[in-house]
Amino acid sequence: MAGKWIQKAIKHPGALHKALHVPMGETIPSGKLDKASHSTNPTMAKRANLAKTLKSLHKKFGGKIDGGKPSPRLDRKPRGRG
């Protein structure tokens, strides 16, 4: 199974934006995301931690991430030991 599989894993898209009062088109500020990840509400904390995890995933084949830094190429073979 290939394609956009992670979108099926997110059950309530936009719920974190709504809870943090951030419009859907805008990115959630890292300060709000950090504060939400330490929330006493377990659902809010889980959603914020998932958002932080998904934010750190690299795009495939050299896509731009985090302010224009290229991600490592995934089409190369890993180096062997020895």
* C-alpha to C-alpha distance for 37 and 8, rounded to whole angstroms: 22
Reported pTM = 0.63
Q: 63 or 5: which carries more pLDDT confidence?
A: 5
Percentage of the chain beyond pLDDT 70 is 65
- What pLDDT does 65 receive? 52
Assess contact for 61 and 73: CB atoms under 8 A: yes
Is pLDDT at 71 greater than 60 in this prediction? no
Determine the Cα angle at 75 with ends 72 and 80, to 5°. 85
Q: Which sequence spans correspond to the domains of the chain?
A: 29-55
- What pLDDT does 41 receive? 93
